[in-house]
Amino acid sequence: MRVTGRLRSAAAVVNAGRAIALAESNKQSPGYLPGFLLSRAEMNLTAERFEEARVDAERVLAIEEKGAPSEAYSSSIGRSNLTPGRALRAQGRLDEARAAGVSALRHLEPSLGADHPTTRDARRLAGAAF
Does the structure show a pLDDT above 90 at 111?
A: yes
Helix (H, G, I), strand (E, B), or coil: what is residue 17? helix
Phi-psi region of 113 (alpha: psi -120 to 50; beta: other; left: phi over 0): left
- Top CATH class of 2-126 equals mainly alpha
**What are the boundaries of each domain within the chain?**
2-126
Whether 114 shows a pLDDT value over 80: the answer reads: yes
CA distance 104 to 102: 5
For the segment 47-77, what is each residue's pLDDT rounded down to a tens digit?
888 999 999 998 998 988 887 777 778 898 9
Least confident of 5-14, 16-25, 79-88, 111-120: 5-14
Q: Is 36 exposed, middle or buried (0-12, 13-18, 19+ CB in 10 A)?
A: buried
The CA-to-CA distance between both ends of the chain, in Å, stands at: 30
